[in-house]
Homo-oligomer: A and B are copies of this chain.
Amino acid sequence: MRTVSLQEIAQHNKKDDLWVIIHGKVYDLTKFLPEHPGGQKVVLKFAGKDGTKTFDRFHPADIIQRYLSPDVCIGEAEVNNSGEQEPEVETEEDKRVRLAREKMPRLDEMYNTFDFESVARNILKADSWAYFNGGANDEISMRENHNAFHRIWLRPRVMVDVSKIDMTTTMLGDKASMPLYISATALGKMAHPDGEKALAVAAGKRGVIQMIPTLASCSIDEIVGARVHADQTQWFQLYVHKDRRREKDLRQKYVHEGPNEFQDEEINREGGAATAMSGIIDNTLNWNDLAWFKSITKLPIVLKGIQTKEDAVLAARYGCAGIVISNHGGRQLDFAPSPIEILPEIMSALKQEKLENIMEIYIDGGIRRGSDIFKALALGAKGVGIGRPTLYAMSGYGAKGVQRLLELYQNELEMCMRLMGTPTLADIKPEMVDIRNLKDHFVANPTDYLANLSYEKMVPRGNLSKL
């Protein structure tokens, strides 16, 4: 492999003649440019230059080897010994982030998922925050996911011996310390340099299952290698790419690492990086393809993204081991209903068809409190997935933040079970939740501003609040 001088590289700095240094190697990205899922702009920024630092914010180290043909590698970049290395200039945003990180609360001062979200908002770069926090269109579905839990009220029983609370369970046959798993979310390194490895560590330490994303920013080897103990379960999320062979490669290489496999029909295209990625997803995927999947693996297949009872029944009939009711965190289709709203009608349809015992039902989206988990279980879920909260917790505090987050969920669920009079998961019954308003979507009349502004608001004596 030849050594290429920096001077030579610098000359290939145009759209139709584009070389970039990554991890000391020089790549000709001219042909790849239009196919880059993250768009052309970010690549062109490093035309004729070293793009390693930005590359590492998004990608696993081995991604070039896996996706591009070997001949795009021109050679090794000359090492810069001139002492003329460009000084790192701190941008305005770098400064904002640095200062915000200096003021970050201590980890033991974080008491709930919203604390983590608020801190993440302060300390993340704007692009990372926008990517993680954003939802489709008006972000109605994204917010509705948690919102819907507020329409479910509890019916606590008293005078029950709750001195011992047991929330251990199994998911697809594997043990878990609680009925919660870490769901697959793309591009974890945008939150923290450890990326999905941090999630693997936290999951292992707290005894919960992690679902590895197709679009991980760490390599599968790295994520699997980060496991805390040998029998730590990991699931694998599978997007179906247009060129299906690549997924087969991936699966054949990695499924032995975790016992189970997730197949996810998620189609992520709401804008920015996400839109670009959707270009590589197979839009022809349909029920008939499931037969083919079942023919090539003995792993249990779980279908993620189910949103109607009709499709839940189909999934059971097509032999899925489970489904995840999900609207993909409200990132794809606005006004897709929240999973918790759909759960009862799916359970009811499966029961009517006598299919309720052949599949495990999971939900993700909007799980922000231990009581949310309780409500999902009462309505028939085997467990729940959490996505964004893990990214937010990781943003500020890495694996330890995620551990703390999982501890908070566990504590809240334990307290909820104790106060509900349910010492074990088996004690949690549908009649313990009041869902009469679950399907009611209340949209207030447009505000009567004239009447409101004419009215002089009452203020309690001595009040210091702002209205």
Given the complex, which residues of B lie within 8 Å of A415, measured CB to CB? 269, 333
CB interface residues, A 114-160, toward B, < 8 Å: 114-115, 117-119, 121-122, 129, 133, 137-140, 142-144, 146-148, 150-160
- The answer to whether A144 touches B446, judged by C-beta atoms less than 8 angstroms apart, is yes
Given the complex, which residues of B lie within 8 Å of A138, measured CB to CB? 369, 446, 448-451, 458
- The answer to whether A453 touches B437, judged by C-beta atoms less than 8 angstroms apart, is no
A419-B267, A453-B463 are contacts. A161–B437 as well, Cβ < 8 Å? no
Interface segment out of the listed A51-59, A171-179, A216-224, A304-312: A304-312
- The answer to whether A336 touches B269, judged by C-beta atoms less than 8 angstroms apart, is no
A453 to B464, CA, bound (A): 8
A315 to B159, CA, bound (A): 10
A104-B462, A163-B284, A458-B138 are contacts. A114–B443 as well, Cβ < 8 Å? no
A114 to B456, CA, bound (A): 12
Option from B140, B412, B441 in Cβ contact (under 8 Å) with A437: B441
Q: Is A112's CB within 8 Å of the partner chain B?
A: yes
Given the complex, which residues of B lie within 8 Å of A287, measured CB to CB? 159
- The answer to whether A147 touches B443, judged by C-beta atoms less than 8 angstroms apart, is yes
CB interface residues, A 279-332, toward B, < 8 Å: 283-287, 289-290, 303, 305-308, 310-311, 314, 327, 332
- The answer to whether B434 touches A453, judged by C-beta atoms less than 8 angstroms apart, is no
- The answer to whether A118 touches B434, judged by C-beta atoms less than 8 angstroms apart, is no
A418 to B266, CA, bound (A): 12
Q: Is A439's CB within 8 Å of the partner chain B?
A: yes
Q: Which residue of B lies closest to A446 (CB)?
A: B143
- The answer to whether A307 touches B155, judged by C-beta atoms less than 8 angstroms apart, is yes
Q: Which residue of B lies closest to A372 (CB)?
A: B335
- The answer to whether A310 touches B371, judged by C-beta atoms less than 8 angstroms apart, is no
Q: Is A16's CB within 8 Å of the partner chain B?
A: no
A114-B454, A140-B448 are contacts. A160–B286 as well, Cβ < 8 Å? yes
Q: Is A6's CB within 8 Å of the partner chain B?
A: no
- The answer to whether B311 touches A159, judged by C-beta atoms less than 8 angstroms apart, is yes
A419-B267, A443-B151 are contacts. A434–B337 as well, Cβ < 8 Å? yes
Give chain B nearest CB distance to A362 CB in angstroms.
15
A118 to B456, CA, bound (A): 9
- The answer to whether B283 touches A418, judged by C-beta atoms less than 8 angstroms apart, is yes
Q: Is A187's CB within 8 Å of the partner chain B?
A: no
Q: Is A420's CB within 8 Å of the partner chain B?
A: yes
Option from B150, B158, B314, B448 in Cβ contact (under 8 Å) with A307: B158
Q: Is A32's CB within 8 Å of the partner chain B?
A: no
A122-B464, A286-B161, A455-B143 are contacts. A416–B333 as well, Cβ < 8 Å? yes
A454 to B117, CA, bound (A): 6
Option from B148, B303, B440 in Cβ contact (under 8 Å) with A442: B440
- The answer to whether A460 touches B369, judged by C-beta atoms less than 8 angstroms apart, is no
A455 to B306, CA, bound (A): 26
A61 to B153, CA, bound (A): 42
- The answer to whether A308 touches B155, judged by C-beta atoms less than 8 angstroms apart, is yes
A269 to B311, CA, bound (A): 43
Give chain B nearest CB distance to A141 CB in angstroms.
8
Given the complex, which residues of B lie within 8 Å of A308, measured CB to CB? 155-157
Given the complex, which residues of B lie within 8 Å of A461, measured CB to CB? 105, 109-111, 115, 118-119
Q: Is A162's CB within 8 Å of the partner chain B?
A: yes
Q: Is A467's CB within 8 Å of the partner chain B?
A: yes
CB interface residues, A 407-460, toward B, < 8 Å: 412, 415-416, 418-420, 434, 436-437, 439-451, 453-460
Known contacts A104-B462, A109-B461, A153-B336, then 16 further A-B pairs from the complex at CB < 8 Å, ordered by chain A residue = A103-B462, A114-B453, A117-B460, A118-B462, A118-B464, A138-B446, A140-B446, A147-B448, A154-B333, A157-B308, A159-B290, A161-B283, A267-B419, A434-B439, A436-B440, A442-B444
Which 3 residue pairs across A and B have the least CB separation, nearest first?
A: A143-B446, A114-B450, A118-B460
Chain A to chain B contacts (Cβ below 8 Å), 22 pairs: A109-B461, A115-B462, A121-B464, A137-B369, A137-B371, A139-B446, A139-B458, A144-B446, A147-B451, A153-B336, A157-B308, A158-B303, A158-B307, A158-B311, A159-B265, A161-B285, A437-B440, A437-B443, A442-B443, A449-B458, A449-B459, A453-B465
